[in-house]
Amino acid sequence: MAFFLNSIPVPLKKNTADKPSVRMTDVKTVMIPMLMHQGTPATPVVKMGDLVKVGTKIAQANGELSSPIYASVSGKVTKVCDYLTASGKYVPAIVITADGEMATEEGLTAPTVNSKDELLAAIRESGVVGLGGAGFPTHVKLNVDFENVETLIVNGTECEPYITSDNHVMNERAGDIEFALSAFKKHLGIKHIVIGVGNNKKTSIENMKELASRIEGAEVIALPSTYSHGSEEAIVFHATKKVLPQGKLPVDIGCVVCNVTTIAEIGKYLKTGMPFVERYVTVDGSCVKEPQCVIAPIGVSLEELFAFVGEFECDPERVVYGGPMMGITVPSLSAPVLKTTNSVLALSEKETKFPKETACIRCGRCTNNCPLGIAPAAIEKAYARKDVEELVALQVTACMECGSCAYLCPAHRPLVQTNKLAKALVKEANN
């Protein structure tokens, strides 16, 4: 599979980039689902009526591909209920009524780390997972042989419109990033570290270059800030000049990719022993009067989060986790901030109304601008016929669902949506 490094002219709308982040502490309740990562849901270790503090473990990891969960506020466990995830699966969720104190758990200390095994155990215990959106448990991703895997790539490109959370972390948490990378270098035996930052983030580039100068084998590269150069495929190519083959992982070609906020949260835990309980969330969209990057407790409702930044400019037609290109529509404002929530957008009817779909004019924009060079228009026809063999030949499973095809289509065809359905059809046929 070729990689074409195509990008599209999506307006960046980084409205909160130059505003300092603000921490949200006055919280009424949090609802914390047991599945905020890829893998197996965590197992609750608290019950109704239990008193908890910030950093109290409320759920333990259930198996290797899982992650522990901690209270993000102090207060009382008032409910254990079912939560409907974006995948349509119900999982338990723990509701904590906050006492307004935000008191921290006693006895939290930095973990002892003198070896690779102790470092991986500490990362697992921190509760940190992939914070670029995927939520894959980081202790599993980093459990590789760095004799054969030469490069750790730190992704700070953040090319989706609106989102500035990683940018704020690079500007405000460089010390945590450096601490984690130094520990990785010492205990994992990483030879080469590449920190990729969007070229529109001048201050972040300077901050990352400064810390990289103190870590042997580390460097910073400025990547195009156009969409979708933040994808795993793109940053792997920019950092290593290697093309990630279809169906392969970065580790298969000698590298591992981690989001920059993931690295910062690991650094914080290694320094302080405070597990992952809050995250940077960009709160923006055309309906938000005063957009802001908020450090929000995990589990706080979007209703409370939007109220924290002020009143709506207008009633939102749609609220989205993530960015407008790859984000997921939220069913209601009672939905919580998750470990993987880097942004929530409140969008107006004008922004979310689907234009009338018309016939394909065979202009080729979808194929010519696809970063992977696949043919969405041909996939759409094959999917209409339910032709699995043709879908496989068209390499639909390589689609990274960036949405560039649908965004550019002058006929307003739902191309990326069809690609997702086509991928599901191929998966079902192979099972």
Domains annotated on the chain, with CATH:
9-353 (3.40.50.11540), 365-430 (no CATH)
Q: Once rounded to an integer, what is the mean pLDDT over residues 306-331?
A: 94
The C-alpha angle 150, 152, 155, rounded to 5 degrees, equals: 150
Q: Minimal CA–CA distance to 306: which of 340, 328, 337? A: 337
Q: Which residue has the higher pLDDT, 4 or 336?
A: 336
pLDDT at residue 232 above 60?
yes
Percent of the chain with pLDDT over 70: 99
Q: What is the DSSP letter of 302?
A: H
d(CA 62, CA 205) in angstroms, rounded, equals 38
pLDDT (tens digit, 9 = 90+) per residue, 20-50? 999 999 999 999 999 999 999 999 999 999 9
Q: Once rounded to an integer, what is the mean pLDDT over residues 199-210?
A: 96
Percent of the chain with pLDDT over 90: 86
Q: Which strands sit side by side in the sheet containing 292-297, from one edge to the other?
A: 22-23, 292-297, 278-284, 343-347, 318-321, 328-329
Which pLDDT score is estimated for 244? 87
In the chain, the amino acid numbered 125 is E
Least confident segment among 83-87, 230-234, 297-301:
83-87
Which pLDDT score is estimated for 354? 85
d(CA 372, CA 54) in angstroms, rounded, equals 44
The helix or strand, by DSSP H or E, that contains position 49, with its residue range, turns out to be none
pLDDT (tens digit, 9 = 90+) per residue, 247-273? 889 999 999 999 999 999 999 999 999
Least confident segment among 6-15, 291-300, 343-352:
6-15
What backbone phi and psi angles, to 5 degrees, belong to 95?
A: -100, 130
147: pLDDT confidence band, cut at 50, 70 and 90?
A: confident
Which pLDDT score is estimated for 228? 86
Which pLDDT score is estimated for 3? 52
Least confident segment among 5-19, 69-83, 152-166, 399-413:
5-19
pLDDT (tens digit, 9 = 90+) per residue, 78-96? 999 999 887 788 999 999 9
118: pLDDT confidence band, cut at 50, 70 and 90?
A: very high
pLDDT at residue 6 above 90?
no
Q: How far is CA 33 from CA 97, 193, 294, in A?
A: 15, 34, 20
Q: Minimal CA–CA distance to 72: which of 29, 108, 37, 39? A: 29
Which pLDDT score is estimated for 348? 94
90 near 61, Cβ under 8 Å? Answer: no
Collapsing DSSP states into helix, strand and coil, what is residue 118? Answer: helix
Averaged pLDDT score across all residues of the chain: 94
Q: Once rounded to an integer, what is the mean pLDDT over residues 371-380?
A: 94
Q: Minimal CA–CA distance to 262: which of 67, 7, 42? A: 67
Which pLDDT score is estimated for 86? 77
113: pLDDT confidence band, cut at 50, 70 and 90?
A: very high
Q: What share of the chain is helix, strand, coil (3-state, %, to 5)?
A: 30, 20, 50
d(CA 315, CA 336) in angstroms, rounded, equals 19
Calculate the CA 336 to chain-centre distance: 15
